[in-house]
A and B are shown apart, each in its own frame.
Chain A
Amino acid sequence: MNSCAVEVEGLRVVRGGTEVLHGLDCSIPRSALTALVGPSGCGKSTLLRAMVGVQVVAQGRVTVLGRAAGSRALRGRIGYATESPAVYADLSVRDNLRYFAAILKAEAPAAELVLEQVGLTRESERLVAQLSGGQLSRTSLAVALLNQPELLILDEPTIGLDPVLREELWRLFHQLAGDLGATLIVSSHIMDEAARCEQLLMMRDGRILAGDTPEGVRRSTGSQDLEQAFMRLAGETGAAVGTPA
């Protein structure tokens, strides 16, 4: 059994005539929480989409849980939440969860469990269209958690949340990786959030700047924090404009 949950080799993706990922390599360890950080527009979502298997790929190989990304056997083993919440606005929170749970053949109490995990039990009967932005993205996250997937791919799940909720969700992510042994890949454009993850992938302009533990990244760049490390790494690649190395 491979120790990597996801392996990406030479991945090139072209969207709308422009190359957004330029022959990218990276690997994601199993049973750990990996943060994928980088500015918006750097290709984080595209990389995650390629891992889920919904992205048309120009070149390269993406292996997920030992199989080619997007293969039939993987459907239902991966939980995926996009940045914009993919749920039905004209159904209640609970009806959304029931529908997706039925497709995934999740256990009956699964919907109640994930409602509790994302803190939406009290809103469960409300129509999704009436929820706030934060509640909406938590509903989408709840769907991704439904069948206790081995691999969770979450694109900016904490965007627009108040700091208390954000903290709670990160605690949940750590818990899922720690106690339940799930592999999590969580993207964010906030460096601070990444600092507490076990693994870190730093991305810029369709390339991986660094893939290491947060401590390792700081050490190898001789930086105080990840923000500084990012600046230094970006400077090294020569792609930076006006950023002193």
Chain B
Amino acid sequence: MSLRLTLITTWRIIGQRRRDHRTLALVTLVPALLMVLMRYVFDSKPLFERLAPTLLAIFPFIVMFLVTSVATLRERRSGTLERLMTMPIAKLDLLLGYAVAFGLLAVIQVGVAASLCLFWLGLDVKGSFALMFGIAVLDAVLGMALGLFVSAFARTEFQAVQFMPLFAGTQVLLCGLLVPRDHMAGVLARISDFLPLSYAVDALKLITTSAELSRELIQDIGVVAACSLLALAAGAATLRRRTA
């Protein structure tokens, strides 16, 4: 593993995205736009205040999942991954390069969406704004890591896109967006305990409603971070130097 190789890979991935203005605009602005829609579709500030933390977890998660699974699938399909595997670069360097590049993109995306909620849509955050921002970025990184991992099982970009409703959609339904998790059918509530997005949503709910740095909050953050690392490690395991 080498910091140098990670950073030059990050720089290369940023270079690839930099020219693609449309994707950049979509990634940074779409979650913010959806936030505005949510605010005025319900047209109720209290309701928005209740939903906004959940949405701040969901939108970056989904967007990062999609962007990453397509980008890494391309790397696999175009032969560049095979080429890299013949060179002196570790799999982890490559994956961390992706993680840092898309993590930076997530920072911008969450920054735009969160600022909008705070300064225009009137979301009131009781806890630390910086920590809320950090949790949302971590959650975007989780989406990214899952996207990386899942891309190993897609042969085409069509399949990769269809994995989104499967892996992200189910988590969105079960994370407590529609009804609180403890109001769901018992089995589903149990299942949602095993889905990482649930913990990201819980953490964001806690930070917006309480200034206290509770043990529960720290646990939630820990689970999201651990799941991200786990998904990255699983992603590394799917990269092979030799293929059939």
Residues of A within 8 A of B (CB): 14-16, 52-57, 70, 72, 75-76, 78, 80, 82, 84-91, 95, 99-100, 102-105, 127, 143
Contact = CB atoms under 8 A, between A and B. Distances in A.
Nearest to B94: A103
A54 B82 CA distance: 7
Contacts, number: 75
B84 A103 contact: yes
B44 interface: no
A99 B12 contact: yes
Interface stretch (B143-151, B172-180, B209-217, B236-244): B236-244
Nearest first, the 10 closest Cβ-Cβ pairs linking A and B are A86-B79, A86-B83, A99-B12, A75-B88, A90-B16, A76-B88, A102-B8, A56-B244, A56-B242, A86-B80
Interface in B71-90: 78-80, 82-89
Given A75-B87, A100-B87, A127-B19, A53 B242 contact: yes
A82 B82 contact: yes
A88 B84 CA distance: 12
Contacts of A86: 78-80, 82-83
Contacts of B85: 54
17 contacts: A54-B241, A54-B242, A56-B242, A57-B242, A70-B242, A75-B86, A76-B88, A78-B86, A82-B83, A85-B79, A86-B83, A87-B78, A95-B12, A99-B8, A100-B87, A102-B4, A143-B83
A87 B243 CA distance: 19
A111 B244 CA distance: 32
Nearest to B78: A86
B241 A70 contact: yes
A91 B86 contact: no
Contacts of A102: 4, 8
Contacts of B244: 14-16, 55-56
A9 B153 CA distance: 34
Given A75-B86, A88-B80, 9 more contacts: A16-B244, A54-B243, A55-B242, A56-B244, A57-B242, A86-B79, A88-B78, A91-B15, A99-B9
Interface string B12-37: 10011001100000000000000000
A175 to B, nearest CB: 24
B77 to A, nearest CB: 10
A88 B242 contact: no
A84 B82 CA distance: 12
A105 B87 CA distance: 10
Given A53-B242, A55-B243, A127-B19, A88 B86 contact: no
B225 interface: no
B5 interface: yes
Contact of A103 (B19, B79, B87): B87
Contacts of A127: 19
A72 B20 CA distance: 35
B89 A103 contact: yes
